[in-house]
Structure 1
Amino acid sequence: MLLGMRVCGPSTAVFRPSTLRCLSRAHRLPCRELTCSPRQTSRWNRQVSVTPRDSPRVLITGGLGQLGSGLAQILREQYGKENVILSDIKKPPAHVLSSGPFVYADVLDFKQLRELIVNHRITWLVHYSALLSAVGEANVALARKINISGLHNVLDLALENCLRIFVPSTIGAFGPSSPRDPAPDLCVQRPRTIYGVSKVHGELMGEYLHHKYGLDFRCLRYPGVISAHTHPGGGTTDYAVQIFHDAVSTGNHECYLRSDTRLPMMHISDCHRATVEFMHAPESQLSLRTYNIAAMSFTPEEVALEIQKHVPEFKVTYKPDTVRQTIADSWPVRFDDSNARRDWGWAPVYGLEGLVSDMLRSIREKRTVEGLPVS
């Protein structure tokens, strides 16, 4: 049973005492009437035209991870700098602090989150706070608190304030009994990591709250996301980020997965674009609340060979890590994202060749600006 909910449509529930005063209004107004009117974008370069009145007010939790600041930049370009608030529990670097509003926010602190949502008149909440797969296995208790208790806090607040909420899921939401090639949207999942378990929990809770109370819950299962501008964060697919940094800096990479370990991957710009397009999509077009999205699927050996076309002297050795290899072996080889393509027009831009070329160029530029050697 969830506590602290304000009903978004006609129903009954148990509430925190402080939210009882919202009952009468909650029964009068469905949640969908309180959200802004989304404008769908079917192409990345198509501009979304919104007036100040219908611009969403967005809060992004876990904003200093791999995805938050990049998504904030895109949304600020569309809706204005002051309408997108980045948050985390860490001190932001100077360039993040100067790029737009940043606030401290601990997802385990319900009262503080409520104050942020109310004081900043938030209408969309993007919940990126989570411990990733390998880090979560090293600290299950902390992962359970952040990934599950923190999730319940934001879901409660989304109900209480009738927010549109986006919670990403992951390749890790599947398990060894899932179909692997490809994994469909709906199938047996049964993950064997606390990260995966927490993500399946989030998918099911969001879908339940959507059907029971009208919560505008949206979720995408991300593959491994590859970016030149953030450091690996403890995920099993992080080799596919580190391998590019090593190719440019030292010319050598030691991979913690076997050379033939195939996993779904995606360029970060495709990931951001999918998220924004999905958030814009009218609810009438959505047949699901959680979708797979896909772009490419490769092995460490395949990406290394593609890098060697640009850096011929690049060398890769393989020293499989038992924990990460076991996790990877339980995950899908490919995603079936046909529902996302049909329902809201999803289509990736980057394949393997484009990914490798862009990553090497971006990392070289970044290291040159920082005065670091380039291999």
Structure 2
Amino acid sequence: MQKIIITGALGQIGTELVLNLRKKYGNENVLATDIREPEQGSEILDGPFEILDVTDKDKLFELVKDFKADTMMHMAALLSATAEKNPLFAWELNMGGLVNALEAAREYQMQFFTPSSIGAFGPTTPKDMTPQETIQRPTSMYGVNKVAGELLCDYYHTKFGVDTRSMRFPGLISYIKEPGGGTTDYAVEIYFKAIREGKYNSYIAKDTYMDMMFMDDAIKSIIQLMEADGSKLIHRNAYNVSAMSVDPETIKESIQKLMPEFELGYDVDPERQAIADSWPNSIDTTCAKEEWGFSPQYNLDSMTELMLNAIKEKDKLAQK
């Protein structure tokens, strides 16, 4: 990777991915794009930025050509709960944008990454230690998009030789980007509410286990996968990755080790709960570990300590 273009750069993963790639490859070598402008003073503006609607194929091709990109990281998408509110738009954006991005990768011979998700699994998928290769019959539009995306990336690799790579992300937890419409976002909200209000009502029910990972590990894993020897990649689209399987009570107990007064209640959202119930309790990450060395650094307690301290500091700076 030398010249990298990122779509959806202001999204949940994109924001931190841009900043980390610029530290490693240089500000001028990472072009961030999104459909909206960054906020004034955003670190994203420390390097090149362009407005891009990924459904606009001509503009996408123009940017890739002018930037002389050799790598594309396609992060633009609607997340699970948001996609369910407008499924036809989700299909147009998530799949139309992906096809355009893959066509650009084929035309300009770029290495290509796009994230998949545990949302690619469904209620008939084995729930515990879900295998790398298994039944994928999701019941959400987001999940349908992700399964189709995995297959489409496989097709572009086998048919056209595009170096496509991906991983099935679990819920991602970050203090930098606040929740943005995902089913697993309760696991982000709970930390912000713990600091700001001392209590939280979860829209996901007790005993609903889902996989999670700290955002730092997710970003490191993307870069690690993209730098891996392609000849060793068997399950390139898409690897199971995860750091922990938790339910709301598990996170509450971790927070209470540092904030004993923290209170957790429940106000379950039937729509998001239905999505969560269709996903695995835990997934098997053996293939990612064996094929490219996946190894997350943060467990629940180390992540909790970092999240709480970082949100405190973030709020202090915002008040100045």
Whose Rg is larger? 1
> Match for residue 196 of structure 1?
143
Q: Could you give the per-residue CA deviations for residues 129-174 of structure 1, whole angstroms, max 9, x where no partner exists?
A: 1001110010111101111111111111111111111010001000
Q: Which whole-Å deviations, capped at 9, do the CAs of 1:210-251 have from their partners, x for residues lacking one?
A: 112111000110000000011111000000000000000011
State the alpha-carbon separation in 2 of the partners of residues 103 and 236 from structure 1: 29
Which amino acid in structure 1 is aligned with residue 161 of structure 2? G
2:281 to 328, 333, 337: 333
Contact (CA 8 Å) 2:19, 2:44: kept in 1 or not? no
The alignment status of 1:213 with 2:157, answered yes or no, reads no
Contact 1:306 1:356 in 2 (8 A): yes
Give 1:98 shift: 3.4
Q: Which amino acid aligns with 1:262?
A: Y
What's 1:226 paired with? 173
Count of matched residue positions in the alignment of Structure 1 and Structure 2: 318
1:64 maps to what in 2? 10
Instruction: Report the 3-state secondary structure (helix = DSSP H, G, I; strand = E; otherwise coil) of the residue aligned with 1:86.
Output: strand
- Please say if residues 174 and 214 of structure 2, whose CA atoms lie closer than 8 Å, have aligned partners that are also in contact: yes
What is the aligned counterpart of 2:94 among 147, 152, 170?
A: 147
Counterpart position of 1:177: 124
Task: Check whether the contact 2:74–2:112 (CA below 8 A) recurs between aligned residues.
Answer: yes
1:105 aligns with 2:66: no
* TM-score scaled by length of structure 2: 0.98
* Contact 2:80/2:142, CA 8 A, preserved across alignment: yes
Say whether the 8 Å CA contact 1:56–1:124 is kept in structure 2.
Answer: yes
1:87 is aligned with what amino acid?
T
Specify the SS of the correspondent of 1:354. helix
Superposition deviation, residue 71 in structure 1: 1.0
- Counterparts of 1:73 and 1:136, CA distance in 2: 27
Q: Does 1:315 align with 2:269?
A: no
Per-residue deviation, residues 298-318 of structure 1 (Å, max 9, x unmatched): 110110111111111111111
* d(CA) in 2 for partners of 1:311, 1:166: 39
CA drift of 1:97 comes to: 4.2
* Deviations 1:90-130 (CA, angstroms, capped at 9, x unpaired): 11022234321111011000000000000000110001110
**Greater than 4 Å deviation, 4+ residue runs:** none
For 2:291, give the aligned amino acid.
D
Cα shift readout 1:33-64 (whole Å, capped 9, x = no counterpart): xxxxxxxxxxxxxxxxxxxxxx5111110010
Match of 1:162 among 109, 113, 126: 109
Secondary structure at 1:198 match in 2: helix
Percentage of identical aligned residues: 43
1:265 aligns with 2:212: yes
Alpha-carbon distance in structure 2 between the residues aligned to 1:228 and 1:263 = 19
> For residues 305 and 206 of structure 2, what CA distance do their matches in structure 1 show?
21
* Structure 2: runs of 5 or more not aligned: none
Contact 2:31–2:47 (Cα < 8 Å) also in 1: yes
Q: What TM-score comes out, normalization by structure 1 length?
A: 0.83
Question: What letter is aligned with 1:60?
Answer: I
Letter in 1 for 2:248: P
Residues 69 and 96, structure 1, Cα contact 8 Å, conserved in 2: no
CA distance in 2, matches of 1:295, 1:247: 22
Gap runs ≥5 in structure 1: 1-54
RMSD (Å), alpha carbons:
1.0
Residues 88, 105 of structure 1: 8 Å contact kept: yes
